[in-house]
Amino acid sequence: MSTYAQQYAQKLCSAADAIRHVRNGDTIVVPTGVGEPPALLTALSEARREFEGVQVSQILPVRKYDYLDPETAHHVRHRAYFFSGVTRPGGQQGLIDFLPAYFSEIPQLIRRGQFPADVVFTIASPMDEHGYFSLSLAPDYTMAAIEKARAVVIEVNPNVPFANGDCHIHISQVAALCESSDAIAEVGLPEIGPLQEAIAGYVAELIPDGATLQIGYGGIPDAVVMQLVHKKDLGVHTEMLGDGILKLVEAGAVNNSRKNINKGKTIATFALGSKKLYQFMHRNPGLEMHPVNIANDPYLAGANDNLHAINATMQVDFLGQCGSESLGHLPYSGTGGQADFVRAANRSNGGKAIIVVPSTAKGDTISRIVPTLTPGTHVTTSKNDVDYIITEYGVAQLRGKSAHQRCASLIAIAHPNFRDELRAQAKKMGLA
């Protein structure tokens, strides 16, 4: 038996035993999305009443674990870097706290001790012959947390791909490990309808051959992907690797040949998709998974010419401020990487920062283009950073434009039923 195999055997235990590395008052850092370790978090949930003051910090949980029980929050409490469907209700009820930050800067906040990281729980690939595991599904802020943590506890699963990039941890860094073999959670493509296709058509017209792409999650971004399959020499430098990007690779549209940095490589910081996507990642020489301070850094991402960042919002005001993460004061998601990539695209030679939004909500009864954001709304993309806003009615290019010009451009792409009312409001505000 090799030295690495001996260390593995010595550290192997049940999930119930592995979580005993957590102490009262600790903060456990868990990776984004499917990078979370189900067996460890289930064991923590089952034993939650045995702890006091433990906190779990994570972006985008995908499973609803029992530790989210509000009645046991004083034992184990969630602290969100970003809300998902399973944590949003608790966030809106004030039971789950929110930590605002640019996604790209979370590793720095962890290294500085401003975001605590006492223990890391993460899923990992099987160990290779050199004693390394791959945290391919989400190296994000987890690699920084590993540097700071007192204990790193991993859940080894043969369904986790061994990806290239800065996403590896050595057996010598691991305090304890357990094993599981459950399938990695899959997240399907959102539904695409005529509205999404209409918006996607405008976006696709703005993207030239040779562009480097950052594509967020959602029906509109995935509709955009379907209209890019005939493009040539596209590159990818993104935060989320999903099935939409996989479709572009399979179609031959993505080869990363014109990128200025990481030429020939698709770059991402977390994966969220299908089993086929996870298999595609395994030892793929054309893909690298990196921490978010690399993938989302505006300077690094923006060093690629023609970076086109495509993200979604929920509300846009007359100055172009985008409220993408809350409904008024009620949290809905989080800042994530939108602001990172808007700034990156603005830095890029030939880049475009594109924000997509349906013109209305609630069956065409509410305009998403508004004079001012709903009171309490968290501003995600500022008036100084916003560039393109696209609805199903057209394109408003705002960067470099005056307040009056912005207002007129946005009203022109609002739903026709609301344009007269919006013009009247603009006149009252001195913007028309």
Entry field: residues in the chain: 432
The question of whether 71 is a catalytic residue gets the answer no
Residue in the block written with tokens 């939004």: 357
- CA–CA separation, 131 and 41 (whole Å): 25
Quote the strand ranges of 318-363, DSSP E. 322-323, 326-327, 330-331, 352-356, 360-361
Interatomic CA distance for residues 256 and 258, integer angstroms? 6
With residue 82 as reference, give the H or E element that holds it. strand 76-82
Is 354:315 a contact under the CB 8 Å cutoff? no
E-assigned strand segments in 283-334 = 287-289, 307-312, 315-317, 322-323, 326-327, 330-331
Alpha-carbon torsion (41, 45, 50, 51), positive or negative: positive
Q: Find the catalytic residue in 36, 105, 155, 239.
A: 239
- Whole-angstrom Cα distance, residue 273 to residue 304? 26
Nearest Cα residue to 139 out of 357, 356, 292: 292
Cα separation, 164 vs 168, in Å, equals 8
- Find out whether 301 and 295 touch, Cβ atoms under 8 Å: yes
Q: Looking at 225-285, which runs of residues are DSSP E strands? A: 235-236, 240-241, 266-268, 270-271
Angle at 41 between CA 35 and CA 47, to 5 degrees: 170
Q: Do 31 and 140 contact (CB within 8 A), yes or no? A: yes
Q: How far apart are CA 289 and CA 374, in angstroms?
A: 37
Percent composition of the chain: helix, strand, coil (DSSP 3-state, to 5) = 30, 20, 45
Calculate the alpha carbon distances from 33 to 49, 56, 69, 292 in Å: 25, 14, 19, 14
Name residue, tokens 């995908």. 62
Q: Would you please indicate which residues are annotated as catalytic (active-site) residues?
A: 239
